[in-house]
Amino acid sequence: MRYLIKAKQNFLEKDSRNSDFLYIGSKILGWYGNNARDLPFRQTKDPYKIWICEIVFQQTRINQGLNHYNNFIKRFPDVKMLAEAEENEVLLYWKGLGYYSRAINIHKAAQQIMNDYQGVFPSQYEEILKLKGVGKYTAAAVSSICFDGKMPAVDGNFYRVLSRLFADDFDISNSRAFTYFSELAALVMPENVGDFNQAMMDIGSEICKPKNPLCGECPINEDCLAFSMQKTSGYPVKTKKVKAEDLALTYYFVHRNGQFLIRQRTEDFIWKKLFEFPTVITSDMEPFITGSKTVAHKLTHKNLSIEILNVEVTSEKIWNDFITENQYLITDVEGSHEKSFPKPLENYIQNSLKD
- Using CB under 6 A, pick the residue from 138, 144, 198, 232 that binds ligand SF4: 232
Q: Which of 47, 204 has the CB closer to ligand SF4?
A: 204
Q: Which of 233, 300 has the CB closer to ligand SF4?
A: 233
- Chain center to CA of 177: 20
Q: Are 316 and 259 in contact (CB under 8 A)?
A: no
Could you tell me which residues are beta bridge partners of residue 309?
252, 292
- Using CB under 6 A, pick the residue from 220, 281, 306, 345 that binds ligand SF4: 220
Q: Which of 11, 252 has the CB closer to ligand SF4?
A: 11
Q: Which of 161, 345 has the CB closer to ligand SF4?
A: 161
Residue 326: which residues within 8 A CB-CB, separation 6 or more?
263, 278
- Using CB under 6 A, pick the residue from 79, 151, 218, 304 that binds ligand SF4: 218
- Using CB under 6 A, pick the residue from 227, 322, 341, 348 that binds ligand SF4: 227
Residues 32-91 that bind ligand SF4 (CB under 6 A): none
Establish if 109 lies at the interface with ligand SF4 (CB under 6 A): no
Residue-wise DSSP of 202-221: HIIIIIS-SSS--GGG-TTT
Instruction: Tell me how far, at minimum, the Cβ of 157 lies from ligand SF4, in Å.
Output: 10
Please calculate the CA angle 42-68-114 and round it to the nearest 5 degrees. 75
Q: Are 72 and 80 in contact (CB under 8 A)?
A: no
Q: Are 241 and 68 in contact (CB under 8 A)?
A: no
The span from the CA of 47 to the CA of 244, in Å, is 35
Residues 245-284 that bind ligand SF4 (CB under 6 A): none
The span from the CA of 291 to the CA of 268, in Å, is 30
CB atoms within 10 A of CB 249: 18
Q: Are 301 and 270 in contact (CB under 8 A)?
A: no
Length of the chain measured in residues: 355
Residue 245 appears among annotated catalytic residues: no
- Using CB under 6 A, pick the residue from 92, 215, 323, 353 that binds ligand SF4: 215
Instruction: Tell me how far, at minimum, the Cβ of 2 lies from ligand SF4, in Å.
Output: 17
- Using CB under 6 A, pick the residue from 123, 192, 221, 336 that binds ligand SF4: 221
Residues 143-172 that bind ligand SF4 (CB under 6 A): 161, 164-165
Q: Which of 101, 205 has the CB closer to ligand SF4?
A: 205
- Chain center to CA of 8: 32
Instruction: Tell me how far, at minimum, the Cβ of 213 lies from ligand SF4, in Å.
Output: 4
Side-chain-side CA neighbours of 293 within 13 Å: the count stands at 11
Per-residue mark of binding to ligand SF4, 175-214 (x: CB under 6 A): --------------------------------xx----x-
The span from the CA of 110 to the CA of 121, in Å, is 9
Residues with a catalytic annotation lie at: 54
Chain positions contacting ligand SF4, by CB under 6 A? 161, 164-165, 207-208, 213, 215, 218, 220-221, 224, 226-227, 232
